[in-house]
A = this chain, B = another copy of it.
Amino acid sequence: MCEAHAYLLAPGGPEKVMENVVSLRYDGDQIVLTDLFGDEVRIDGTIKEIALIEHRIYLEGREASPA
Chain A binding surface SS class: strand
Interface residues of A in 9-50 (CB under 8 A from B): 21-26, 46-50
Residues of A in contact (CB 8 Å), total 19
Query: Counting CB contacts under 8 A, is A53 at the interface?
Result: yes
A interface list, Cβ under 8 A from B: 1-4, 21-26, 46-53, 55
Report how many copies the assembly holds. 2
Q: How far is the CA of A51 from the CA of B4 in the complex (A)?
A: 11
Give A26 to B50 CA distance when docked, in angstroms.
Answer: 10
- The CA-CA distance from A64 to B35 in the complex, in Å, is 35
Q: How far is the CB of A11 from chain B (nearest CB, A)?
A: 20
* Contact between chains at B4 and A24 (CB < 8 Å): no
